[in-house]
Amino acid sequence: MMRVTLLPRFEPRGRPSAAMSIASPLIALLLTALLAAALFVALGKDPWRGLSVFFIEPLSGWRPASEVLLKATPLALCALGLSLCYRSNIWNVGAEGQFLLGAIAAGGMALWIGGPQGALGSLAAGDGMFAALAGRPLQLPLVLLAGVAGGAAWAAITALLRDRCNANEILVSLMLVYVAQQLLGYLVFGPWKDPAGFNFPQTPTFAASTWLPPLMAGTRLHWGFVLALLAVPLFWFVLFRSWRGFQLDVSGQAPAAARYAGFSARRALWTALLISGGMAGLAGAMEVAGPLRQLTPHVSTGYGFTAIIVVFVGRLHPVGILLAAILLSMMLIGGEYAQSRLGLPGALTGVFQGSMLFMLLACDTLIHSRVRWRHARPVSS
């Protein structure tokens, strides 16, 4: 008896649907919501209540909505920088480490120039430029610039090893994340530890002159969100209306054509990684100068890794990245609500984020390819 087997085969479509490409993230979100409802049922929870906690309650008032925008700020900043790398075909997955180094550099600067209350206050108390700046409006810009420099310097290690040693930037940038985590732990458990902090691993609270001012009274949302909004049109111009952005785009999509045109792959590497690292470092600086106002081992809740999902959900477009950052921020806040109100595990947020990326990739595959079923060779049974 002969048994016929059908096997699927993907064939590229002649012209992918532009409308479906735009709708793809929405379809992925709907499929993720259906999967979430099924998981809630499996965990013995009311699916409507679970979906409400994740997607409705985070926007149920000014205070929870401000928390959503607060968490969307570092996600958007990190993701904007990563979009420059990914469009250049440079796979920086170490934004988490660059975020932490930005936070460390900004925290060190805040402690240095923040007066005697800081762990490094004795350095600022003497004569010198930083002592002269104490209590002046330049303190906050110096803290933010230190964060940018810290993140860019950490990304420069990846660029140097890729440029000089042809090391894989994925592995290098990822391994540097764990180095950054160990460095942060050493500082907050060691030399920068607050002697009056009841033995908690944290630095002293920064001076008020280094804080990001709140954007709305009664909330933790700060002016960093406005800077993130301003970065969106800036990156749109760089990516789609500037000569440098055109070079980076061509280098990523057609390396052979870029070489033929005389575009420098080395310059594209350094430009993309330094800007990406600087943006992640700026996000880290805003986190310690905004809601935290000190360094702790838990400065980041995985913003750098979540930003990778934000980039692709946002279709590598600055406007889409901003919207995706708000959506993923809602999931983060919803996950916190689900833990406290429904007793669900915190890992559920990561499951939903990963599922959404998987659904998006599946939708994109079907947009660009169609499934054809073909007969395999008959098998005797």
Condensed to tens digits (0 to 9), the pLDDT of residues 225-276 reads 999 999 999 999 999 999 988 888 888 778 888 888 888 888 999 999 999 9
60 bridge partner residues:
none
pLDDT at 2: 53
Write out the two tokens for 16.
């992918």
3-state helix, strand, coil in the chain (%, to 5): 70, 5, 25
- Residues 356 and 30: their CA atoms lie apart, in Å, by 9
Which SS3 state, helix, strand or coil, does residue 72 take? helix
Please report, for residues 94, 106, 275, 335, the alpha-carbon distance to residue 268 in angstroms, rounded to integers and kept in the order given: 18, 27, 11, 38
pLDDT at 141: 93
Phi-psi region of 273 (alpha: psi -120 to 50; beta: other; left: phi over 0): alpha
User: pTM to 2 decimals?
Assistant: 0.89
User: Of all helices (H) and strands (E), which one includes residue 290?
Assistant: none
Condensed to tens digits (0 to 9), the pLDDT of residues 342-370 reads 888 888 888 888 898 899 888 888 888 88
For the domain made up of 46-343, the CATH class stated in words is: mainly alpha
Helix axes 265-287, 139-165, angle to 10 degrees: 140
- Residues 100 and 196: their CA atoms lie apart, in Å, by 24
* Whether the Cβ atoms of residue 352 and residue 331 lie closer than 8 Å to each other: yes
Which SS3 state, helix, strand or coil, does residue 214 take? strand
Condensed to tens digits (0 to 9), the pLDDT of residues 32-58 reads 999 999 999 998 889 999 899 888 898
The predicted model gives 88-93 an average pLDDT of 93
DSSP code, position 338: I
